[in-house]
Amino acid sequence: MPSTITYPVIRRDPCVSDTYCDRSSSTVIINDPYRWLEDPDSEETAQFVSEQNIISQAYLNNIPYRTKFFEHLKEIFNIPKFSCPSKQPNGKYYYYMNTGLQNQDVYYELDSLSKSTDQAQILIDPNTFSEDGTVAIQSLNFSYDGKILCYSVSDAGSDWSTIYFMDVATRKKLDDVIIRTKFSSLRWTTDNRGIFYSTYADALNNTTSNNTNSVTATKNENKTEEDKDTNKTTDKTTNEVPSATIEVIRTDIQEVYFHRLGTPRSSDICLARSIDDLNEHFFSVETSDDGQYLIASISIGTLNENKLWFLPLYKSSDSIVEQPNWSKLIDNMDFVYNFVTSQDDLLYVTTNAQAENFRLITINTKTKEINEVIAEDKNDLLEDVTRVYENYFLVRYLSHVKSILYLYEMETGRQLRKFDLPIGNISAWGDQNESEIFIRLESFLSPTTIYTCDLAQSLDASVTIFKRIEFNGVDLNALTTEQVFVDSNGLDPSNPVKVPMFLVHKKDLQKNGQNPTHLYVYGGFSIGIKPFFSVAALLWIHHFNGVFAVVNARGGAEYGEVWHKDGYKHKKKNTYLDLCASTEWLIENKYTKSEKVSITGGSNGGLTVAACANMRPDLFACVVIQVGVLDLYRYHKFTIGYYWCGEYGNPGLPEEFEWVKTISPLHNIPTNPTKYPAILVITADHDDRVVPAHSFKYISQLQYQLGETMNRLGRPLISRIDVRAGHGAGKPTIKRIEELSDIYSTTPFSHKNKNIQNSSFSIKVINLVLEMSSPREKLIKNLQSLCNEHGLTWDDQLSNDIPRKWRVHGDMLLLPSNRCFVDSRWINNIPSDQFWSTVARSFGSSIKRIAFEGPIKNDDFRSPNTRLVLGNDPWINLVENGIKFSYNVDKSMFCAGNNTERMRMGQISCVNETIVDLYAGIGYFTLPFLVHGHARHVYACEWNPDSMEALRRNLQANHIDEDRYTLLLGDNQLTCPVGIADRCNLGLIPSSEACWPVACRALQAKGGRLHVHGVVNTKQDTHDQWSENVRYRIETLMRDIHHGENNYKCEIEHVERVKPYGPHLDHLVVDLLLTKISSSS
């Protein structure tokens, strides 16, 4: 690895500055030479981004184990992930689930708890919204009757969103679309006729975008109902999300609107504006459970102290008018008031008024009389109250950053039970109209477990496991978690506090001061960091024998608003001093030393670690700053940054300028330090919350000021700038894995300081690379040991006999026949069972069976030619795109290369469609049409009885009702139905031409869609030429079949390249739309 980095020369403009006034009324001039980087759209900024990414990628690419760490992380990241379910008025259950590596979580519907989650149906799959997986669901909410789902969607991580509405029963989208909304709670009126949402003044005047999607959606806003009718098919099958622009301008004047379904946005009713005495205030609105009130919590920016207003709704949206008469129940901002529920004239509210740890009270909407329901607990923090089963409360407390859950009686405030749950982070769902509750729990060493309990059975009913995620990526039994409390003097040494810190490490950790240690911190905005399950941190601990620490610094909510206020405004430095004290504790107690300490934080946490790097550069080896707030002189001038003035201070005010000037990371980089940590800055070009200019200017100043110094120290100053990503929410899974891999690869590598003895580090790198070796490398190593054990001399012939290609389906390893393990010495010298078990073990603990694959048999069925060498059961079970497949490896095939096409077919909405699958096989396309496309009925034609048997099994395994499919065994030219299909799939290669007439006859007389597979020789035809030839011949066939009675037009909708099929051969699919036209046309 080069010892120096040549940093680019970044233009500095000496003429740009801002003027401030300090407490003494003196004028302070702050130069801002990189102001030009605040323009994200300029060519110069684009060039800057490109140059920075070149530097960072060059550095990251030289980390010897980075790729292997990424591959290993991706492998163990592939476990299911579930959200806490909810039960809706339609009696069904809904939750998010990710099968493991899906870019976005999918929203599922489950009919009954008696059914397995494998039987759940997809309600919304945001992975179908964009090709790169960067369009995400931001929030959603059901109408009171459960018939309509309202959901907001954002592009590239933007805070801006587009709101859509879906008929839950039919899965069809309604015509209503609301673009340019922001921070909306999507609350419904009880008559199910409309929602409340938030936006900002002039939002619709800034809809310029970098692709055509936004144009489509914007036009749809202005369509008449008649215009919309002409495009109903398109509107109901796609999510035309306005593509996010790179926005940095300040977003002023929040507005709250009511939208009534079926009406244009221009008639939406504005209920509140943040103007005049409410300037820079933030409205958060919600409807009461009974729909009687619209509740508004009004705060100054992100501060928690709030006013509490309400608006009677009289259970009808007709009562909503412009400039409504809000009732001001609490009209000061001295304390926090969180609305819970309502009963007649009483609002139930948690508050810290006269209760630092919060209590539950009622406020009478008519008399404003306050009564206490649940008194303050002097030891534990009241975190959350949820009304359940009509007359009860689920009450969650936080006790030294660990959750405790209770059941209380609503009328008396009496505690009825404590739920017996493991220690961890608890979230719960319940509804006043439902007796069932769900509890989600996770901790540092426990992935998600979801419990359920039915209070109708008994208020003491035991909790049962609804879903438990199994994780075998690393040995969790070898790890332990401990919580320590660190003395931190902070700004007032006479009054030190105990700062909680969680530590995760191996049980056999030696406290010798040599362990790599990674601290995570946030410390702001009254947000507590509770135990969480991090696959990346666990893998890092496993490979580097590291210590992962979470510091619960002041500024968070771990002990309520008192803890928050001790780390904000003029006390903000307490947050940084807490982190430094925690690091010193780890060093003093021999967990690590400063040369092996890395710290990381995101957003406000990015500010925290950057400030600590400036305050104590001697204490850390590496600092990772994710989307950090780094320019505290100008943060309030961008998007919603002014909301944070209550947290950091307003630099425009002399007194608060004093707070800012000593902590702003951009302006407090030390001059000529003898020590300074490696810096990895991570940001994203579409971050419209903490705009990327913070990171751009900061890394520029670092490289200018400390570039030579850091080259002498052998530590980098690099920035990793993601594209089509935002502040973090909605980031695709693969992007998250890549980012985490870079963080956890950089932190130990940056410990290799030029002034430190590196021999032990080099040994660790070598061992780590070996440990994360590919299966083939592990196989060679294991077989060499096995040969040595049995007296077989290892030579080049044996080495060359090791497989270089293989496939893994389920728990079976498939090896190419006659291309590996052909040397007779293997079996002649080593017992067969021991040999094949060793091979299986080299490919991971999940491999239980091994088979050889030979050439496809030359029979009518193109049958596979396989031979089992380990195991006896030839049936393979696997899950692809959430669909269960099984097949007999001796009788049928499964082509992994067609995965993208199977996924594409599943992304087509086939609701109410009848489909003919002419070459069904084991259900390659039949199942995606039924499971994900929600087709009404599929006729599956297949002439191989073994494949038909597998198809039958797969339909049952995926819980497809029998009335949704018909299985037709035999020659499809004889079995295929006529005149019934909306869509026909011809999935045979190299050519399905023999059955093109069969497919045309299968379509309804009005026409329909065909998906025609084929192989094109690219030396003879281009893709377009081949597709046009297919189109012309299909159109001619359709006309001939109907003998001129009907004229047909055939159009190409899409051409998909599935995979290469051989030299100069491509497997293509052309999507065709056949439409009957009048003879006059």
Distances (CA, A) of 846 to 100, 449, 810, 813, 843: 16, 22, 8, 10, 8
Say whether pLDDT at 242 is over 60.
no
Do the beta carbons of residue 521 and residue 502 sit within 8 Å? no
Model pLDDT, residue 865:
79
Does one domain contain both 735 and 783?
Answer: no
111: in domain = no
Please give the structure tokens belonging to residue 614.
């400036």
121: in domain = no
Say whether pLDDT at 236 is over 50.
no
1079 in active site: no
Does one domain contain both 707 and 726?
Answer: yes
| Average pLDDT rounded to a whole number, residues 905-926 | 92
pLDDT band at 116 (very low <50, low <70, confident <90, very high): confident
Count of helices and strands (H, E) across the chain: 24, 52
Secondary structure in 3-state letters for 718-739: EEEEECCCCCCCCCCHHHHHHH
Does one domain contain both 738 and 794?
Answer: no
Reported as a single tens digit per residue, the pLDDT across 389-413 is 999 999 999 999 999 999 999 999 9
* Among the ranges given (82-96, 413-427, 435-449, 807-821), the one the predictor scored with the smallest mean pLDDT: 807-821
Does one domain contain both 726 and 866?
Answer: no
CA neighbor of 511 nearest in space, from 591, 414, 626:
591
* Among the ranges given (8-12, 232-236, 456-460, 910-914), the one the predictor scored with the smallest mean pLDDT: 232-236
Reported as a single tens digit per residue, the pLDDT across 753-777 is 443 334 444 445 545 544 555 678 8
566: in domain = yes
1073: in domain = yes
Do the beta carbons of residue 1068 and residue 1016 sit within 8 Å? yes
* Among the ranges given (111-125, 333-347, 653-667), the one the predictor scored with the smallest mean pLDDT: 111-125
99: in domain = no
715: in domain = yes
Do the beta carbons of residue 650 and residue 658 sit within 8 Å? no
CATH code of residue 227: 2.130.10.120
CA neighbor of 1010 nearest in space, from 883, 905, 899, 903:
905
- How are beta strands 479-488 and 497-506 bridged, if at all? antiparallel
880: in domain = no
**Whole-number mean pLDDT of the chain?**
90
Does one domain contain both 726 and 832?
Answer: no
917 in active site: no
Domain edge (last residue) among 844, 870, 896: 870
Does one domain contain both 232 and 359?
Answer: no
Return phi, psi of residue 1012, to 5°.
Answer: -105, 120
Does one domain contain both 719 and 834?
Answer: no
> Does 855 sit behind a cis peptide bond, omega within 30 degrees of 0 on the bond before it?
no
Model pLDDT, residue 758:
43
Say whether pLDDT at 218 is over 50.
no
Domain edge (last residue) among 731, 764, 797: 764
Report the chain's terminal Cα–Cα distance, integer Å: 70
Alpha carbon 352 to chain centroid distance?
Answer: 33
Model pLDDT, residue 210:
37
Does one domain contain both 54 and 194?
Answer: no
Say whether pLDDT at 2 is over 90.
no
Does one domain contain both 537 and 449?
Answer: no
Q: How many domains does the chain have?
A: 5
Looking at per-residue pLDDT, the higher value among 428 and 804 belongs to 428
Say whether pLDDT at 551 is over 60.
yes
Model pLDDT, residue 240:
55
Helix, strand, or coil (residue 410): coil
Check residue 789 and report its DSSP letter: H
Does one domain contain both 518 and 588?
Answer: yes
Model pLDDT, residue 166:
97
Does one domain contain both 263 and 153?
Answer: yes
Do the beta carbons of residue 690 and residue 729 sit within 8 Å? no
Model pLDDT, residue 862:
64
CATH code of residue 61: 3.40.50.1820
Do the beta carbons of residue 332 and residue 316 sit within 8 Å? no
Distance CA 349, CA 342 (A): 9
Say whether pLDDT at 234 is over 60.
no
Q: Which amino acid is at 584?
A: E
pLDDT-above-90 percentage for the chain: 74
Distances (CA, A) of 168 to 88, 149, 189, 287: 11, 6, 17, 21
Instruction: Select which of 158, 603, 750, 886 is catalytic.
Output: 603
Q: Which amino acid is at 997?
A: P
Sign of CA dihedral 766, 769, 771, 777: negative
Q: Which domain holds residue 724?
A: 17-72+498-764
Say whether pLDDT at 496 is over 70.
yes
Reported as a single tens digit per residue, the pLDDT across 961-1003 is 999 999 999 999 999 999 999 999 999 989 999 999 999 999 9
5: in domain = no
687 in active site: yes
Does one domain contain both 799 and 756?
Answer: no
pLDDT band at 276 (very low <50, low <70, confident <90, very high): very high
Return the exposure string of 879-902: e unless at least 16 CB atoms fall within 10 Å of the residue's CB, then b.
ebbbbbbbbbbebbbbeeebeebb
CATH code of residue 855: 3.30.300
Query: pTM for the whole thing?
Result: 0.74
Model pLDDT, residue 214:
29
- How are beta strands 937-942 and 914-917 bridged, if at all? parallel
Looking at per-residue pLDDT, the higher value among 374 and 943 belongs to 374
Please give the structure tokens belonging to residue 675.
């020590």
Secondary structure in 3-state letters for 76-129: HHCCCEECCCEECCCCCEEEEEECCCCCCCEEEEECCCCCCHHHCEEEECHHHC
CA neighbor of 878 nearest in space, from 50, 279, 100:
100
Helix, strand, or coil (residue 1010): strand
| Average pLDDT rounded to a whole number, residues 425-447 | 96
Helix, strand, or coil (residue 445): coil
- Interaxial angle between packed helices 832-842 and 775-789, expressed in degrees from 0 to 180 and rounded to the nearest 10: 150
Model pLDDT, residue 1077:
85
Say whether pLDDT at 415 is over 80.
yes
Say whether pLDDT at 830 is over 70.
yes
Instruction: Select which of 687, 742, 917, 1066 is catalytic.
Output: 687
